A and B are shown apart, each in its own frame.
Chain A
Amino acid sequence: MSIRAYFPGRDSDTPEDSSDLTTTERGLLYAALGLVTLLVVFPFYWMVSTSLKTGQEVTQFPPTLILDSPSLVPYVDALANGMWVRWFVNTVIVSAGATVLVVVVATPAAYALSRREIPGARLFLMLFLSTLMVPTQALVLPLFVLFADLGIVNTHVGLILCYAMLFTGFAIFLLYGFFNSLPNNLEEAARVGGIPEWKVFLRVILPLTKPGIATAAIFVFVFSWNEFLFALVFMQDSPMYTISVGLATFFGNRGSVVLNQLMAVSILAVIPVLLLFAFSQDRFIKGISGGFDD
């Protein structure tokens, strides 16, 4: 049964359907959509506008909707403050590191499970998928104890390993779907062609996997960038904080004087992932809806 049938709307391939709607109907729908968009966008606007305020304007009541004198001072102050920069760097290191590790671990696994009929493949797949269900929070405690023993609490490596644990399952799932969509007798052709297994993977299949890997990488990077609990627990000293932890700690102190700076930093924290998203929208959306049908 097509899910489409259940929704009033139209298939973008059949233009004549748009005549189904009366002008009033159309108008109402557009208005509703406009309202929704406004509600979604407003918080962003508010974040930006606060970040451009200075002095009294920041906390006065009632707050100004339109700015008196927008200024970039909060941004300058924020960037001049070595702390914020340091935290950004930490976040980049950890996110990039996690991305690399996850891709390296998940890609071969997804390949073997998807394209080669290993006995037990289904079992393994179920296993990896089940890791997505575990309330990972609960693991913070024993992992903390373990890492403390290993001496990797409060290090980039420690957090990267945590993120690898958190996100590899998802990456495997994503890549599994992608591998399934590749033509299915490429390996056969290579194997009967005398190509050794490792070469089949590295030289034949992997080059074709770039889009899938890119998608997985983007997701893992964004997930790592936004993650909070593990960063909070595992990064104990101020210099090691990630940007999320830094923001939360600062905010906890509720020093309203720096609210504009806080907003500025928040914007800066959002920009990288926003850019990533902007450049790879299709990938992102495709990855979520699980569609890799080529």
Chain B
Amino acid sequence: MKVELTDLTKKFDDLVAVNGISLTVKDGEFLTLVGPSGCGKSTILRCVTGLEVPTSGRILFDGKEVTDQQPQERGIAMVFQNYALYPHMTARRNMSFALEDGGLSKAEIESRISETAEMLGIGDHLDQTPEELSGGQKQRVALGRSLVRNPDIILMDEPLSNLDAKLRIELRAELQKIHQELETTTVYVTHDQEEAMTMSDRIVVLNDGEIQQVSSPEAAYNRPKNRFVADFIGSPGMNFVPCRLEGETIRGGPFSFGLPDAAEGTPTEIGIRPEDISLSDRDESDGPVGEVNVFEHIGPYNIVYLEVADVGEIVAQIPASRYFDIGQSVSISVRNNRIHLFDEAGRAIYNPPLPSDADAERPTTSR
């Protein structure tokens, strides 16, 4: 089912939670709304469900207007962060409750439940009550409760946030599998950019009630439209270095790069992703240097926090095999001069092409 939001606005007294959002959710896609707390993502979701009524704007399901409809009438299903299971009913009843009075035969209801329970791995727990279940099981039951209704769309409000890290990753993969199998339109809300990146067909980055970018996860990562998206997506976050343009050269602290032709404006900030930084023992050249403050062994790679003169802290991600001591002085270089450029207004005026792109227009390092 396709969902269209047109100029959606939601105000709570004077607070504008959602500011004129327009968005289309394609039929069958997995769309994630992501952003920091208070960005409006949950509010948008709740408007789609009907739990909140928009101040202005329209919501259409497959072209039909549902803006003022009660949640019960929308044919939706929702999974909550805190599961919201009916405490006094067994898992089975939680799942069957909505199907009663629906015209389905008992047998049909039973079969749907066992099928769904099978898919979610909770078949053995159907006769337990929520308080007897673990967090992961509860969320699976909550999911089952939604799926059993064959809804046109599933909405999820930070469903994994209450689970511990390992469980989160496990369920993330399961959700993806389920989506591939069922192909139900899914709108997912999270503040965790990693979740958004790994699960979605498209992500919508939000801040302060406004859309910052709607694109594939890959595009959001490699071609952020503005500083906010560049900062929000990716962990550890992008490094930002204030800079100024001198002729055709961009200078920021100890860094200097040639202005790429493709840049559309005057850069005031350089953005460098930690994994695009390479470090080496201090050499005789007068390139940028930094002092190692913190060294983190993550496992598959290492994170280095550097103190760079005139710039402050720079974070680098280096291969697991490289080591540096605290306090050591290192030379910093940017791989393939992969820098992002942002103007005064925060707009991205240049994103480096991916290595696969044939005729790469890359900035050159000038001395």
Knowing A192-B77, A193-B77, A193-B98 are in contact, say whether A204-B84 is a contact too (CB < 8 A). no
Stretch at the interface among B68-76, B103-111, B266-274: B68-76
A208 touches B88 (CB 8 A): yes
B97 touches A208 (CB 8 A): no
Q: Which residues of A contact B145 (CB under 8 A)?
A: 193
Is residue B243 contacting chain A, with contact meaning CB distance below 8 A? no
Is residue A122 contacting chain B, with contact meaning CB distance below 8 A? no
In the bound complex, CA of A207 to CA of B87 (Å): 10
Knowing A185-B82, A203-B97 are in contact, say whether A192-B50 is a contact too (CB < 8 A). yes
Shortest Cβ distance from A199 into B: residue = B101
Knowing A185-B80, A185-B82 are in contact, say whether A192-B51 is a contact too (CB < 8 A). yes
B68 to chain A: closest CB distance in Å? 15
Is residue B301 contacting chain A, with contact meaning CB distance below 8 A? no
Q: Which residues of A contact B149 (CB under 8 A)?
A: 193-194
B76 touches A204 (CB 8 A): no
Within 8 A of A (CB), among B134-154: 142, 145-146, 149
B84 touches A183 (CB 8 A): yes
A191 touches B71 (CB 8 A): yes
Knowing A193-B97, A195-B72, A195-B98 are in contact, say whether A188-B88 is a contact too (CB < 8 A). no
Choose among A188, A204, A208 the residue with the greatest number of B CB atoms under 10 Å from its CB: A188
In the bound complex, CA of A282 to CA of B80 (Å): 34
- Interface footprint category on A: 10 to 19
In the bound complex, CA of A55 to CA of B226 (Å): 100
Within 8 A of A (CB), among B86-137: 86-88, 97-98, 101
* Interface flags, B224-265, vs A, CB<8A=1, else 0: 000000000000000000000000000000000000000000
Is residue A189 contacting chain B, with contact meaning CB distance below 8 A? yes
Partner of A192, one of B76, B85, B97, B101: B76
A251 to chain B: closest CB distance in Å? 49
Choose among B77, B98, B149 the residue with the greatest number of A CB atoms under 10 Å from its CB: B98
In the bound complex, CA of A283 to CA of B49 (Å): 38
B84 touches A207 (CB 8 A): no
Partner of B80, one of A188, A195, A197, A208: A188
Knowing A192-B76, A193-B77 are in contact, say whether A207-B98 is a contact too (CB < 8 A). no
Q: Which residues of B contact A186 (CB under 8 A)?
A: 84, 86-87
- Total B residues in contact with A, Cβ cutoff 8 Å: 25
In the bound complex, CA of A190 to CA of B78 (Å): 10
Is residue A120 contacting chain B, with contact meaning CB distance below 8 A? no
Is residue A142 contacting chain B, with contact meaning CB distance below 8 A? no
Knowing A194-B149, A203-B97, A207-B88 are in contact, say whether A189-B51 is a contact too (CB < 8 A). no
B202 to chain A: closest CB distance in Å? 23
A208 touches B87 (CB 8 A): yes
A188 touches B84 (CB 8 A): yes
Q: Which residues of A contact B50 (CB under 8 A)?
A: 191-192
Q: Which residues of A contact B75 (CB under 8 A)?
A: 194
Partner of A191, one of B72, B86, B88, B101: B72
Shortest Cβ distance from A196 into B: residue = B72
Q: Which residues of A contact B70 (CB under 8 A)?
A: 191
A195 touches B84 (CB 8 A): no
* Interface flags, B38-64, vs A, CB<8A=1, else 0: 000000000001110000000000000
Interface residues of B (CB under 8 A from A): 49-51, 70-72, 75-78, 80, 82, 84-88, 97-98, 101, 142, 145-146, 149, 155
Q: List 23 A-B contacts (CB under 8 A).
A: A183-B82, A183-B84, A183-B87, A185-B80, A185-B82, A185-B84, A188-B51, A188-B80, A189-B78, A189-B85, A190-B86, A191-B50, A191-B70, A192-B72, A192-B76, A192-B78, A193-B98, A193-B145, A193-B149, A194-B149, A196-B72, A197-B72, A208-B88
